[in-house]
Amino acid sequence: EQLQDNEFTNPFYPPTQDVAESSSYNIGNSNVPTFNQPQIFEYQWTKDHPLEQVRGNPSRPVQTRRQLATDPEMCMYALTELVDKLFGKSVIKLKWLWKNKKGEDQTMIRNKARLVAKGYAQEEGIDFEESFTPVARLEAVRIFIAYAAHKYFPIYQMDVKTAFLNGPLKDEVYVAQPDGFVDPDHPEKVYRLRKALYGLKQAPRAWYDELSKFPTSKGFTKGTIDPTLFTIRYAEDILLVQIYIYQSPSGIFINQAKYTLGILHKHGMDKGQSIGTPMATKPKLDADLSGNPAYQTDYCSKIGSLMYLTSSRPNIVYLRGTVNMGLWYLKDSSFELTAFSDVGHARCIDSRKSTSGGIQFLGDKLVSWMSKKQNCTAMSSAEAEYVALSVSCS
């Protein structure tokens, strides 16, 4: 009440117990010091941002990234309510995976947390019925890109974040309560999954079934040979969608330079220097029994990385000096199918089997290549040539 009629009183000054009365009631304002009292806001002040910059619900309370990553409502939205463990039903254990996401300059951007299921404990016929998922062959992807370049079609690429978490499950799957989020009142209960989790055997199949519903509902037709290719025809135009690339006015260039540098850095070969004779030439490579045995996990990692690299380049030698090598698909070119095949008769010293090789072009666009040992032992070079020709045409 003391502040109601006196706008010059400092509200932040401690209130006095006794108020003295003045001898005069006509006090002028000339001898009273004044100051500007800042306005006290009852609500948080915000700035209006353009609508396209709004990335979330403005009314949602502020949370840290770690809270967003491990909040049970965010990471366990695919889980239903707690249920009692049924007799005869296996319960899959869960595990937290932590990863530091790094940028192109190897600086840490943020910490990532993902809740995964230990699907390696699942048994086919007991825990799941079907897990096969159609996967686009790399040859089909290259043919798709070559056709788009030939027809001057623009290509748009998208990525679905946490795709497997969107696939509804057809089977009854029960998982244990994750570490850190065990209900203290019901620690013996389990969760029944409504949607898939990463790590489940049926997760890829569930996501493919969910994803294929959208293009088919819009009139797209699933490919007969490649079920991951959907097409639709509008009058004289054909629209293609490939489930799964520098694109310029003159063509499309496919390159994995960043991935190549990552492989070299991972295995400590990014500082390597070229030499005149990297290895001795001999008809057969023998096992180095006197050397140190190779680490199996590291060896498999190298082979797998190189196999994935062959999707954009047929030659994977001299990676340090050929990082920018890739496939170039020109627009102004023909589209006739041309294939070449060759064979190395009895090249394998141990089994005397021949080696088949072949490449396929659409015009001047390289779309497929292979080099593999034949399954049978050819008795003549002519027989080996026919085997290589059949493999190249298959």
Q: Which amino acid is at 377?
A: T
Residue 126 within a domain: yes
Residue 121 within a domain: yes
Tens of pLDDT, residues 175-206: 998 888 888 888 899 988 888 888 999 988 89
Residue 322 within a domain: no
Encoded tokens for 353? 């089997």
Dist. CA 247–CA 133, nearest whole Å:
29
Residue 286 within a domain: no
pTM value is 0.62
DSSP for 115-164, please give it.
EEE-GGG--BTTTBS--------HHHHHHHHHHHHHTT--------TTGG
Q: Is the pLDDT of residue 155 over 70?
A: yes
88 CB-contact burial (10 Å; exposed 0-12 / middle 13-18 / buried 19+): exposed
> What domain count does the chain have?
2
**236 lies in the same domain as 339:** no
Q: Is the pLDDT of residue 373 over 70?
A: yes
Q: What is the residue range of 383's domain?
A: 335-394
Q: Which amino acid is at 46?
A: T
Q: Which of 197, 220, 242 is the last residue of a domain?
A: 242
Tens of pLDDT, residues 99-121: 888 776 778 888 888 889 998 88
**104 lies in the same domain as 230:** yes
pLDDT value at residue 32? 43
Do residues 229 and 136 lie in contact, with contact meaning Cβ atoms separated by under 8 Å?
A: yes
Residue 208 within a domain: yes
**223 lies in the same domain as 345:** no
21 CB-contact burial (10 Å; exposed 0-12 / middle 13-18 / buried 19+): exposed
Mean pLDDT of 57-85: 58
**220 lies in the same domain as 80:** yes
pLDDT value at residue 105? 73
**207 lies in the same domain as 103:** yes
Residue 169 within a domain: yes
Q: Which of 207, 222, 242 is the last residue of a domain?
A: 242
Residue 254 within a domain: no
Q: Which of 187, 209, 242 is the last residue of a domain?
A: 242
**217 lies in the same domain as 339:** no
Residue 79 within a domain: yes
Helix or strand (DSSP H, E) at 92 = strand 91-92
